Structure 1
Amino acid sequence: MLKNSMLSKSVRLALIYGAACSSVAATAAYAEEEATEKAEKIEKIEVTGSRLRGTDLQGFSPVQTIDASDIDTSSVANIQELLLKNPAFGTPAISRTNSNFSTASAGVATVDLRNLGTARTLVLVNGRRFVAGVPGSTAVDLNSIPTQFIERVEVMTGGASAVYGSDAVAGVVNIIYKKEFEGIEFEAQTGQSSEGDSEETQVQFTMGTSSADGKGNVMIHGAYTDQGAVFSRDRERSAVDQASLGAYFTGLPEDMFTPSRPFYSSYAPQGRFFAGDSQFTFDKNGNLKAGWSTNGSDTVDADGFNRSHYRTIAIPTERYLLATNGKYEFADGWSAFMEGTYAGTQTKTELEPFPLSSEDIYGSTGGQVPIEFEAMMNGQMTTVRNPFVPDAIYDAATDEDGDGFKDIGFTRRMADIGNRGNVADRDTFRLVAGIEGEITDGWYLDAFYGYGATKESQVSSGQVNVLNFRNALEAYTDENGNIICKDANARDQGCVPVNVFGNGSISPEAAKYINAPGLLSTFTSQKLAGLNISGDLFELPAGFVGLAAGVEYREEYSRSEFDALQQAGLNAGNAIPRTEGKFDVIEYYTEVNVPLLSDVFMAEQLNLRGAVRFSDYSTVGNTESWNVALDWAPIDSVRFRAIRAQSTRAPNINELYSPPSQTFPTGLTDPCLDVTLTTAGAQAEACRADAAVLANIQANGKFTLTQGDLQGISGFDRGNPELAEEMGKSWTFGVTVSPEGIAVLEDFDFSVDYFDIEIEDAIVSTPRQFILDQCYGGDSSLCSFITRRDKGTGANSIGSLEFIDSGSTNSGGYATEGVDLVVTYAKDFEDYGLTGQVNARLAYTHLLDGYAIPLPGSEKDPFIGEIGSPEDKFYLSLGYTWEDLTVAWNTTFIGKSYLDDGFLSGYDLAPESVGVGSETYHDFNIAYRPFDSTEIYVGVNNVFDNDPPPIITGLPGNVTGAETDAGTYDAIGRRYYAGVRLKF
């Protein structure tokens, strides 16, 4: 359960606790002295959002807290799962349910505050940066965080770059490990979904001990977690390929969430062959037939291929984790500290076999495969034919490329090679060491050095070697009756002729020759050092002026390198070149708190705080961040805050240095679709101005796209070394209320915050749909990013989109505005003569606005209310404890949402005209302690087994294989778990 940071109450409770513990062991006088010492230690605490140390820690920043008991109650394997229930977080860029098709970093767990992008959310551990888990970025992989070693997580939203540096534009997630622990804790848990999959195992232990003199303490934590796979075929909604009837066929709003099922792929294992004006394939019995049909159902045969049978919804993830904390007081008031983390993670993706086209092999000749050519026979050059080609296909074939020989085109699902997918092993290591202590009365210093590194080794399967495939296709029968490869050099290198005609026709030897296992090696490192001082400058009538200042240094390096075939695009997949780069930055900051009034009428406290940070990057040069905050408590139980902040974010390594990398975007609408020779308007005229589009219209009566066209769009993303920093400006206004003296309300705490964040010169890759719409909407400069096919080949039509490129620029803008409400309640029923205690917390976020600006001067593109960013979200947690029994019920609400307005405009539909209803998920946990050292618990997540809304293929937000937005909604279903905790 999340809690508002009403830390003044924590101080009072700590004093009481300290005195109580002392009275057991010593005299009352000694107890009072020790309590005073504890109070002094507590008085100088640093919390997320400030480097200052002080006694009254609430007020300046809106901070919400997750503590260890919340983690225990939820029993999550990964802290990402719990964080995403907080309505301040948006849909994660990467999780194990939305990254099965990623060529790298699949299964990584990231977070995204305010839906402003993972790069604008800064994740800290114990107040310091953590090495990235995604190469070339600053995104931390929460798989590398040992969940049960966490004492608490503090979430601060709003700009915090002045305090923590770059990337804190949307806010900060500060993960704080446990410390000074003595004893042994052990926990084991197992569970699975109601469908019998998504098996989950957790085993972990924590042990700690203190030195005999009490000056040192060391803790060690180890954990193993194994989360099993969920396959698309095992959920009825996603077991068969389907597509949005509205998006692909009718364009009607009522059909957008209606599936056209099946919507099989035209790339089938038996092959589809184009010879002259004829098409051929093979039926299920292996007989050649003319024509092609994708019609069918779950029970009626069709020529197409059901990809969904092979896809994965939830990626299996296995983790080994080790964490340690150590601290030793080597002199009075001075301690040395150390913290370390190691995580070994393995993820496995699995998806359908590769869809190969002859264009992938013979792209330079229009995808035409020669089926006859000249070869030396009996001492003279003779025209020969490929013996694998069936006579009917050979007879229908013509000379398509003008070389005098027959050729054909084909598409084929490479089931003979096996399923695609990858196995990735990631290792993350981080070590921080330093000293901290009191320089003089009220002045503190800490200095640290840290090093972290993440490396990944990935082996992928299912791709083919294009060069070998070409050699293997060009085969003939020699004088001895042997089928051989045409190229003599290829024969010397082991070429094996390949037969692509029919399901299962490729021999194991040929499959081995054309197979191209892929390799990926990445390495990311981070070096950081810092020196901080804080203390009281002088005293004013209202209190001491506090100061914090420091200097920090950071160096980031990243390298990502695929195998040579992948880099060149010679494995028929994405061409992804090597990316390498680094930068460093030195920063200076200072923060001041000035107490203006204290203990006067209508001003129990009035404080002014300011912070400024100057940074010098090796890439973008000098940047500046600052914030100013006013904290006013007119009475003890009411506190107001106002914050104005300017935050900066320097570009990361991928944004700066990424070379052109191929991608295959989905969810795009071609503006020229259905345009005829007589369609009026500037957009139609722009479409007809393209010769290939015009040829398509003339051939079909209107611009027409095939299924292959819809599935065959590619493009290249690229970085930009000329990028500058982006700047975010934010306002936060808030009030916290802890009613006292009002019987009905005194057990409540209330917190309300208004936030408004605007980002200028945002680093963006211009959205491809925006490029399309603008190119045919009057901005012809963007047409240079678009390439259409100048001739029809195979399954693709003339004029269809082939490439849409995009690159990083400082041309974007983002803004979000809304209100957070947090209400907490805690009550001991003994006050009513009953037994037990109840606690509750509601966290609610209502968005008032949210939009992106793709290019300067362009219209706002609202994302508020769209799928993944609903106007309303809340998380309600209820808990009841009676003696040794604890029951918890948690509810997550996601408000109604709509399809992307840009997508709808392609069908002349108004924004917010097509959407899905709200979703509510309930989780239940019950724990019982039969002995002081033992706790047994069971739980159910998604108690009512809610199905996610149908965000199906062709709709924006669809996650391939899940048939929903699996980053926003629960794509797995009801899950059960049980476990035991032991403490000694």
Structure 2
Amino acid sequence: MRMKFLYTLIKVGVIEIVQTSQKSHATAAQASVLMLASLLIFNDRAAAQTMEGNDTQAVEEIVVTGSRIARPEGSQSGPFIAVSAKEFSYTGTSNVEQLLNSFPQLVPGLTAASGSITEGDGSATADLRGLGAQRTLVLVNGRRWLFSDAQQIADLNTIPQALVERVEIVTGGSSAVYGSDAVSGVVNFVLKTDFEGFEASAKTGETVRGDGTELDFNILTGGNFADGRGNVVLSINYLKRNGIRASARNFSRQGFLEVLDQSGQAQLVPGGGSATVPEGRVSGFPTGAALASFPDLAAALQAAGLGGVGALGFIVDDGVPRPFQSPQDLFSFAQFDNIVIPQERWVASGFTDFDLTDRITAYAEATYSNNVVSIPIAPALLTQTIRIQTDNPLISQELRDLFAAIDAIDDTRGGIAGDGITALNFSRRMLESGNRVTRTERNAYKFTAGLRGDIGSLSDSAFKDIGFDGYYSYARTTNALSRQGVLSRSRFNQGILLNDEGTACLNPSGGCVPFNPFGANILSKDVIDFLSVNGAGGNSTSTLQVIATSVDGTLFDLPAGPLGLAIGGEWRKASSRFVPDDFTATGDVAGFSAAAPATAGSTEVYEGFAEVRIPLLKDLPFAQDVTANAAVRFSDYDIDGVGSVWTYSAGLEWVVSPEIALRGQLQRAIRAPSLLELFAPVSTGITVILDPCATPAAAADAGIRDTCIANGVPAALVGNSAIQTSTTLGTLVGGNPDLDAETADSFSLGASYTPQFAPGLRFKLDYYNIKLDDAIAGLAGGAANTVDLCFNVLQDADSAACRAINRDPLTGSIGGGGVGIDERNVNLSRIRVSGIDIGIDHSFDLDWGLVSGQSSVTLSFVGSWLDRFTTTPVPDLPTLKNRCAGAFGSICGEPKPEFKSTSRVTWQQGPLNLSVRWRLIGSAEDDRIVIGGRAPELVALQKISAQHYFDLTASWDIFEGLNLTSGILNLLDNAPPRTINVISANSRLNTYDGVGTRIFATLTAHF
């Protein structure tokens, strides 16, 4: 009660502040600047402080993320953010992605809200600059972290959060230093690997509505042995998080549909959902004007009360068929959605090092995590072609007459007319089987062992301060997927084909139980037991092995300082395999993807690298320190499409004066295709397409004709319908072992200003520009688009679209009896991203306090302005660009506002800390307007307004070794903005807070 009273009191005060701010009509960015300005002048004593610490001191050199050469702290050459462990404590974070996603440089990837109505495995990912988690390299202690599956994306849930000392985030391609995947940047988790003592913490939290309860326990212990020559650190973490159903929040309690009102203005109305309904829906027969050719069918429809049936077909409601009505009959997911998925996790880690000699240290690291996620989702859906007898005794006479009329025209639908069995397009939501539950258990471990040391100097003038490091690491992740509440497609078809008496299945094998599929909630438990294939799923195993060695030191001294050099080599082998059960392998699980057969694959790479740091000028006017850096890496892959590649970087750090520093960096990075992109199961599909080369227009249009001939159609057959013997064409989907590497060129330019008149104040400004080419993506968005793009738009036989279409060289037919259209992933699209990062830090003392006369204030601000986020999905159409800066939607995905920021103000006096965080997510416009050119009045939610989140934290050192930290997150209880997004509970819950106000408390004891 006391916490809720305090929360209410604080909330009222903050609302008044926000409302007052909103009346000024300042933009989000202006509001951020105004707040910072007011904070900077909060105490005029800060600017009048006497400058101290001007005495020359030894400058500590450290190895920072983005380089293998030790350098003075703060001399990074690119955009750099460091997040301390204190920030994790202030935010009550149990999963590291929760904190990372609050920084404007990251776009939320997979989070606790991912998989709200679909299958999710509880993974959490980092996505720098919105280029995709697969293009952000995750390191732990500077070494590549394990990945969760064949996508080769690191799961942040396997990182021991209690051990995190800080997180370093570097933007820009870093492949020359770290290898593949560091396209948009690197996120490096630096852990506490040298710890003495004992630390235990317990945290609990829940929303003010009493749900989403979270329990988090951590134990950390460490100590020295062998007279201080060795150290051991052990930690264990347990986390349990309860899920939150969408029905528990007003914004997600029901679905919404976009409709036009009488004035032609788009509006949101309750409704929406899926056309796969519990009653079962039949479609795929002639309707409307097409019925004029089938009078007997029209009469049968009329007799069954279906005279006005449309393309969506009909349902059987209480035994009576009637036309399907949209949106009234749509099935709403709302009652089955999750806005937070439940999770249970164990993480255990151990670190040790031992000084073998004064110069050589052996070290080892081991981490094990067990993560279990069980996600309840809507009941199984069945969407397939069924074959049913026209004299089925379990269905009504009206349906028997109707199905007989459809059977009579089956020869026009690819079947046999009048054989007593008709094929129907059928879909049904299987409410009788209850909710589906997808359970994923992930077991992951990583072991590293190595030697590092200091060789010393080979001479006084060259090869000095030489150090080395070499290690081997092995990581293994297994995912066990098991589904409950799922049904067999084949058994469904088996159960509706009956014997002549209608008392048993025509094929009684497997204990078949006959049933009537038409109608809601009519299937018995015996039927559901027969249809059920509970436990369907599979097991995947992924491994990563790394051997890496490096040597660094001073090559020789230059007038401006030592020339630093690092050289080394690395070997990596990644492998993955998937073993499904029989139902999953054959695609027999209703409501899920097509067949997923067993697969396996591996990749291997040998690399050599070098890095140099060259001091150019020192202690000169306007050049206190000027240093150049460069790096190069050669990678030799066993992937045929990639082969051998070079990556490189070059940069300059220019310290103009003690107050001003400039920096710039150019980098070439790559991303080799993942195991999934290379070795995903290859399968054939079927699509219905009219071949443009088989139409009269092909003969009349010179552009189409020439393209057809170049594509393989004999000139004499262009425009002849005989070259298309069937509108049903085969397509090929799955992995593509011929993929090349993605390449990216990035450029950054930055400046920092540390004014001497205000000690503790620092400004940072960084411009970044990333150009990604040969991005791996699907071709043209489907087979029909591929054909249209080739013959009607590009008309270029050398284009990727035309090359994907295969013809018989003799007949000119697409496929010629084989696979006609290759829809596997290709290196195709381009992405361009640029923007500016802003950082401000300030700390100062105050002459007053609650207990004594002095206290201190620390201010921080991180903002990011997105200037450009442009994708070119078809390079052959360079003017066709998707401009996503400031947009969201089906094309742009998660909102990409032009401005985002995170600010924090912390006041400290002795054992007490009070901290306020303000997170700003700028506005974003629906991409149907920005890209699609749709009139604004035809879009119900044209724009998401800027969202402001305030968090309040108090930390109290009760006595030495015991701390209590408590906080209120989303203080104003902001609900997420509503969007047309059925798969994320009417919003974008990876970006916006969907749970509302949350209170947490953490008690930490340290001995």
Q: Same fold (TM over 0.5)?
A: yes
Q: Provide, for residues 76-125 of structure 1, a one-character-per-residue CA deviation record: whole Å limited to 9, x for no partner.
A: 11110100111111131x2221223554x532100110111111100001
Match in the other structure for 1:850: 869
Offset at residue 175 of structure 1 (A): 0.6
Alpha-carbon spacing, 1:435–1:594, altered in 2? closer, same or farther (3 Å): same
Q: 1:245 aligns with which of 244, 259, 284?
A: 259
Deviation at 1:531, TM superposition (A): 0.7
Structure 1 residues 228, 251: closer, same or farther in 2, change over 3 A? farther
Check 1:458–1:662 CA distance in 2 against 1; reply closer, same or farther (3 A cut). farther
Q: Secondary structure at the match of 1:100?
A: coil
Matches within 5 A, 1:83-122: 83-92=100-109, 94-103=110-119, 106-122=121-137
SS, match of residue 72 in structure 1: helix
Which residue type is aligned with residue 667 of structure 2? Answer: A
The answer as to 2:879 corresponding to 1:863 is no
Q: Which moved more, 1:422-431 or 1:180-189?
A: 180-189
Which amino acid is 1:288 matched to?
Answer: V
Matched, 1:316 2:342: yes
TM superposition shift of 1:312: 1.6
Q: Distance in 2 between matches of 1:210 and 1:82?
A: 32
Does residue 923 of structure 1 match 2:935?
no
What corresponds to 2:680 in structure 1? 658
Match of 1:521 in 2: 539
**Contact kept in structure 2, 1:264 and 1:294, CA below 8 Å:** no
Aligned in 2, Cα 1:471/1:856: closer, same or farther, shift over 3 Å? same
**1:761-795 deviations in whole A, cap 9, x for unaligned?**
22222463997499377247859999xxxxxxxxx
Structure 1 partner of 2:80: 63
Please name the residue that 1:340 is paired with.
366
Cα shift readout 1:656-682 (whole Å, capped 9, x = no counterpart): 122347999xxxxx9xxxxxxxxxxx9
CA distance in 2, matches of 1:506, 1:261: 29
Distance 1:903 1:738, change over 3 A: closer
Once structures 1 and 2 are overlaid, which stretch shifts more, 184-193 or 570-579? Answer: 570-579
Residues 691-722 of structure 1 show CA distances to partners (whole Å, capped at 9, x for unaligned) of xxxxxxxxxxxxxxxxxxxxxxx998532211
Q: Deviations over 1:462-499 (max 9, x none)?
A: 33212222111112464xxx811112xxx243211123
Q: Conserved in 2, the CA contact under 8 Å of 1:107 and 1:317?
A: yes
Find out whether 1:881 has 2:895 as its counterpart.
no
Aligned position for 1:4: none
C-alpha spacing 1:271/1:804, structure 2 compared with 1 (3 Å) = farther
Which amino acid is the alignment partner of residue 261 of structure 1?
P
* 1:361-383 per-position Cα deviation (integer Å, ceiling 9, x unaligned): xx3xxx442243xxxxxxxxxxx
3-state SS of 1:153 partner: strand
Q: Deviation digits for residues 511-542 of structure 1, max 9, x if unmatched?
A: 11111232121111000011111000111111
Q: Paired residue for 2:602?
A: 582
Q: Structure 1 residues 804 and 875 mapped into 2: Cα distance closer, same or farther (>3 Å)?
A: farther
Shift of 1:325: 1.3
Give matches, 1:136-155, under 5 Å: 136-155=150-169
Is the CA contact 1:371–1:474 (under 8 Å) kept in the aligned structure 2?
no
1:628 equivalent to 2:615? Answer: no
Pick aligned residue for 2:493 from 464, 470, 479: 470
- 1:181-225 deviation line (CA, Å, top 9, x unaligned): 111111111111223221111111101111151111111111111
Identify if the C-alpha distance between structure 1 residues 940 and 416 changes in structure 2 by more than 3 Å, giving closer, same or farther. same
- Are the structure 2 counterparts of residues 959 and 337 from structure 1 closer, same or farther at C-alpha, using a change threshold of 3 Å? farther
Matches within 5 A, 1:111-190: 111-133=126-148, 135-190=149-204
Instruction: Judge which range, 840-849 or 58-67, deviates more.
Output: 58-67
Check whether the contact 2:271–2:330 (CA below 8 A) recurs between aligned residues.
no
2:276 corresponding residue in structure 1: 267
Farther-moved stretch of structure 1 (886-895 vs 972-981): 972-981
Once residues 214 and 404 of structure 1 are traced to their aligned partners in structure 2, the CA distance between those partners, rounded to angstroms, is 88
* Structure 1 residues 621-654: Cα deviation after superposition (integer angstroms, max 9, x where no partner): 1110111111111212221111111112211111
Higher mean alpha-carbon deviation, 943-952 vs 894-903, is at 894-903
* TM-score, normalisation: structure 2: 0.78
Change in CA separation of 1:232 and 1:251 when aligned onto 2, cut-off 3 Å? farther
Question: Residue 973 in 1 paired to residue 996 in 2?
Answer: yes
Partner of 2:665: 643
Q: Aligned equivalents of 2:63 and 2:620: distance in 1?
A: 27
Contact 2:561–2:615 (8 Å) recurs in 1: yes
SS of the equivalent of 2:127 reads: coil
Distance 1:552 1:273, change over 3 A: closer
Match of 2:809 in 1: none
Q: Using the TM superposition, give the Cα deviation of residue 259 of structure 1 relative to its aligned residue in structure 2, in angstroms.
A: 2.1
Question: C-alpha distance in 2, partners of 1:43/1:473?
Answer: 77
The one-letter amino acid paired with 2:471 is F
| SS of residue in 2 equivalent to 1:143 | helix
Q: Which of 560, 564, 568 in structure 2 is aligned with 1:546?
A: 564
Alpha-carbon spacing, 1:325–1:615, altered in 2? closer, same or farther (3 Å): same
Question: What is the CA–CA distance in structure 1 between the aligned matches of 2:177 and 2:635, rounded to whole Å?
Answer: 12
Q: SS where residue 332 of structure 1 aligns? A: coil
Query: Which consecutive residues of structure 1, in runs of 5 or more, have no partner in the other structure?
Result: 1-35, 297-302, 373-385, 665-669, 671-681, 686-713, 787-802, 953-957
Q: CA RMSD in A?
A: 3.3
* Pairs within 5 Å for 1:209-288: 209-245=223-259, 255=266, 258-272=267-281, 276-277=300-301, 278=304, 279=306, 281=315, 283=317, 286=318, 288=320
Tell me the CA shift for residue 408 of structure 1.
7.4
Structure 2 match to 1:7 = none
Letter in 2 for 1:939: G
Is residue 530 from structure 1 mapped to residue 571 from structure 2 by the alignment?
no
Question: What's the counterpart of residue 722 of structure 1?
Answer: 738
C-alpha contact (below 8 Å) 2:118/2:377 kept by paired residues: no
Q: Is the 8 A contact 1:427 1:454 kept in 2?
A: yes
Residue 856 of structure 2, aligned match among 834, 837, 856: 837
Tell me which amino acid in the other structure corresponds to 1:862: R
Equivalenced residue count is 838
1:750 maps to 2:763: yes
| Partner secondary structure for residue 491 of structure 2 | helix
1:562-613 CA-to-partner distances (Å, cap 9, x unmatched) read: 3232232222331134342111111110111111111122111111111100
- Which amino acid is 2:134 matched to? A
Partner residue of 1:935 out of 963, 976, 982: 963
Match of 2:504 in 1: 484
Partners of 1:266 and 1:910 in 2: how far apart?
A: 26
The alpha-carbon distance between structure 1 residues 408 and 655, as it changes in their structure 2 partners (threshold 3 A), is closer
SS in 1 for 2:356: strand
The aligned residue for residue 380 of structure 2 is 354
Map Cα deviations across residues 151-196 of structure 1 (whole Å, 9 max, x no partner): 1110000111111111111100011110221111111111112232
- Quick one: percent identity of the two aligned structures? 28
TM-score (norm 1): 0.80
| Structure 1 contact 158–730 (Cα < 8 Å) conserved | yes
Contact map agreement 1:220 1:323 (CA 8 A) in 2: yes
* 2:209 is the alignment partner of 1:195: yes
Distance in 1 between residues matched to 2:360 and 2:163, nearest whole Å: 25
Displacement after TM superposition at 1:427 (Å):
0.6
TM superposition shift of 1:966? 1.5
Point out where structure 2 has 5 or more consecutive residues left out of the alignment: 1-55, 284-296, 307-313, 411-416, 458-464, 690-700, 705-729, 806-819, 889-894
CA contact (8 A) 1:574 1:662 kept: no
Q: Deviations over 1:126-150 (max 9, x none)?
A: 00001111x2122100110111110
Between the aligned partners of 2:418 and 2:488, the Cα distance in structure 1 is: 25
Residue in 1 aligned with 2:34? none
Contact 2:446–2:476 (8 Å) recurs in 1: yes
SS at match of 2:275: coil
| Cα distance, 1:179–1:262 mapped onto 2, change above 3 Å | same
